[in-house]
Amino acid sequence: MSAITLQITGMTCGNCAQAIQKTLNALPGIKAEVSYEDATARIETTGSIETGRLLAAVKTKGYGARLPSGHDDNTDTMVNAALKVAIIGTGSAAFAAAIKAAEAGARVTLIEGGDVIGGTCVNVGCVPSKILIRGAHVAHLQAHHGFDGVPPNRPRIDRATMVRQQQARVEELRHAKYESILASHPDIHLLKGWARFADPHTLTVTATDGSETTVAADRILIATGARPAIPDTPGLKDTPYWTSTEALVASEIPAHLVVIGGSVVALELAQAFLRLGSRVTIMARSTLLSKEDPAIGEALRKILKEEGAHVLLHTLPDAVAHDGKGFILPSKAGEIRCDRLLVASGRRPNTDRLDLDKAGVETGRNGAIVIDDHLRTSVEHIYAAGDCTDQPQFVYVAAAAGTRAAVNMTGGDAALDLSAMPAVVFTDPQVATVGLSERRANERSIGTETRTLALENVPRALANFDTRGFIKLVAEQDSGRLLGCQVLAAEGGEIIQSAALAIRNRMTVQELADQLFPYLTMVEGLKLCAQTFTRDVTQLSCCAG
């Protein structure tokens, strides 16, 4: 029998002690007695005690816990060293988990096989792509702003200088958000090398020089992210094609860029290069953004076409060749030649090097790790988070998952609820969605009522001389409860969070319509769209309540 006494802070009554005692006794093999008067928790177990797990369990109830001052192995029964947590990866999910686990008293080992830490988002994803997109947007506005009396100007683009500024900001953020965190957290240790499972509790890490290190852990988090998926198009792998990684740091602006793909990355980068001066052809397997409301993809296709893009739906290359000067793409639309080819047809999880079979971790389609809402894999002590799993591939989902995985790994109980998850595609106008589309609701046999508001009915859009797009609300037919929102609008990403909060709080469209929204903002479009469920907004005065 092993025992330990913790000092508890923050209790205000006997009920507090009972709540903490119940939480501790819920842990396997633990018998706890908590005293409000003494501000202590006396804990016994038939095995060893993981102090990090105990401290974390108390903290999940909102109280503080620590070992008594002067505590050592001679003043109390033997206690394990801090919980050992190994995290494979150093991206957003990994760092969020590492910080949270360390705060709970765990000793954390981060394992990174690449040259730099930080994962996709800061290095080759969100940060550099949004800088590129913003720069292209500014260039576009100079020549196509729509305001009389302000002469348009077609700027001369210095792409190499753009890349230098972009990468400087990438390095700045990588240092501030990742590298400096390691320096300030002594309980987080970085180990460089490629990890693979030797058994469910042991990882073998191979460094670049071939040397190997064995890491044993009580808990393991897999957060290895994803990489661009490359289709099996004949000849493609023998050509110098781009993925988003190469495109984001390319110092040239291609005369003609072909983009293979019809989803987020493909459309964002296609429009960016179009606005920087490339002639752009988009080749999509089906429609644009085929998983969204069909009206979004069709409207976006028209917008891209108006800007000069050539969009080929239901068309992919039959083969790919490169003659030393350019790419040759035969297809049902004819032979297409281009200077550069960007393959942006999806991403695949980085799980193929992990030897997951030796740990018994189950995977699904394309090697994605199957997890539950507590981030647990098929193996009790192994968790997974981020783009390597079967969850949506968004950095904020990864970070939230990493935090909750750490809570659960250290004895807590935290679930990740994605029912009101907002998503944004950073085209212009932006695509922003949350909740259920009309199609998804109908697939679940939920009766719906919907309204779509054209942006020419939104005063701010009129003032901006940019009425491209719409706002659509999906409500439950009987109750009027808001189920989903789809937005195609400039600043759509800023609009969607208000809809997410409304869905999270189970508001009806009438309750949304009754809210106060500031006049001459794009988000006022949510109120106006909600009002269309009961009235004709074209007959309202400005900012009518």
What's 229-249 look like in SS3? CCCCCCCHHHCCCECHHHHHH
Q: Is 13 one of the catalytic residues? A: yes
Specify whether the CB–CB gap between 92 and 387 falls below 8 A.
no
Q: Taking the CA of residue 30 as centre, how many other CA atoms within 13 Å lie in the half-sphere pointing to its CB?
A: 24
Q: Is 543 one of the catalytic residues? A: yes
At residue 38, the 3 state secondary structure works out as coil
Which residue in this structure is represented by tokens 């212009």?
Answer: 428
According to DSSP, the residues that pair with 453 across neighbouring strands are: 471
Q: Is 11 one of the catalytic residues? A: yes
How far from chain centre, in Å, is Cα 88?
A: 18
Cα–Cα distance list, 478 to 121, 410, 437, 448, 507 (Å): 41, 43, 17, 8, 13
Q: In what order do the strands lie in the sheet with 321-322?
A: 321-322, 327-329, 336-338
Catalytic residue among 121, 162, 421, 507: 121
Q: Is 388 one of the catalytic residues? A: no
Q: Is 16 one of the catalytic residues? A: yes
Catalytic residue among 1, 13, 421, 529: 13
Catalytic residue among 1, 36, 78, 126: 126
Which residue in this structure is represented by tokens 């576009």?
Answer: 140
Asked if omega into 429 is within 30° of 0 (cis), the reply is yes
Q: Is 338 one of the catalytic residues? A: no
| CA pair distance 51, 188, nearest whole angstrom | 17
- Read off the DSSP letter of residue 481: B
Catalytic residue among 1, 36, 63, 388: 63
Specify whether the CB–CB gap between 50 and 19 falls below 8 A.
no
Catalytic residue among 338, 383, 409, 542: 542
Catalytic residue among 1, 11, 519, 529: 11
Catalytic residue among 283, 338, 529, 543: 543
Catalytic residue among 1, 16, 78, 178: 16
According to DSSP, the residues that pair with 202 across neighbouring strands are: 199, 216
Q: What are phi and psi of 443, to 5 degrees?
A: -65, -25
| CA pair distance 354, 88, nearest whole angstrom | 9
| CA pair distance 203, 359, nearest whole angstrom | 10
Structure tokens at 147: 């305001």
Q: Is 529 one of the catalytic residues? A: no
> Annotated active-site positions, please?
11, 13, 16, 63, 121, 126, 542-543
